[in-house]
Amino acid sequence: MDSNVKELATEVLPYIRVYKDGSVDRLVDSPIVPPSNEDPETGVSSKDIVVSKSPPISARIYLPKHVEQSPKVPLLVYFHGGGFCFESAFSFVETKYMNRLAKQANAVVISIEYSLAPEHPLPIGYEDCWTGLQWVASHSIDGGLKDEPWLSTCVDFDRLYVGGDSAGANLAHNILLRAGAEGLNGVKIKGAFLTHPYFWGSKPIGSEIKNNEEREKLATYMIWHLVYPEAPGGIDNPMLNPVVEGGPSLAGLGCSRLLITVAEKDFVRDRGVSYYHAVKKSGWKGELMELVEIEGEDHAFHILAHESETSMKLIQKLASFIV
Active site residue 266: yes
Catalytic residue among 45, 58, 166, 311: 166
Catalytic residue among 140, 266, 274, 311: 266
Active site residue 21: no
CB contact at 8 A, 166 and 298: no
Which string of b and e fits 145-181 if b means at least 16 CB within 10 Å? eeebebbbebbbbebbbbbbbbbbbbbbbbbbbbbbe
CB contact at 8 A, 100 and 182: no
Q: How far apart are CA 125 and CA 129, in angstroms?
A: 6
Residues with catalytic function? 166, 266
